[in-house]
Structure 1
Amino acid sequence: MNQQFELFDITNPCIGVCTSNKKGYCFGCLRSRPERQLWHEMTTEQRREVLRLIVGRKQRIEQMRQRKGEQLGFDFEDTAEAGKLF
């Protein structure tokens, strides 16, 4: 298998929130506890896999938010109050 030369190290996805849910997933970077603890020991391929998993987690969270909005009968983005909250 051909190995690709890496010019840049894969940046740690930590955004400094560092608060976890009951299952150990960080609210900031969406990594599991082991993914956070072992990041500096991971190979480039392992880090890429973690980043791929994070993308999937973000998509699932967005889908859940959309379903909740549909259940409530309004779109959070279109409310006038949304601009005041963020």
Structure 2
Amino acid sequence: MSVTDKVRSPCVSVCALDENDVCIGCQRTGDEILRWTQMTNEERRDVLREVAIREEKFAL
């Protein structure tokens, strides 16, 4: 698998964790951020689905 085939990080370079250990920039947890480079593409897609759910909840 080439680098271009990997699921890209949702990082937007606004890195700060809130009181729930969720980044205010990309909506990933601290653990998800730390493990990102070791994750498979499937795991990364799972995280991105969770990020979308968090973003929806935050928007309400």
**TM-score, normalisation: structure 1:** 0.63
Contiguous gaps of at least 5 residues in structure 1: 64-86
Match for residue 56 of structure 1? 53
* Structure 1 stretches of 4+ moved >6 Å: none
Give, in whole Å, the separation in 1 of the partners of 2:50 and 2:18. 17
How many residue pairs were aligned? 59
CA RMSD of aligned residues (A): 1.7
What's the % identity of the aligned pairs?
33
**TM-score, normalisation: structure 2:** 0.89
**Larger RCO (alpha carbons 8 Å, 6+ apart):** 2
Contiguous gaps of at least 5 residues in structure 2: none
Question: Quick check: which has more Rg, 1 or 2?
Answer: 1
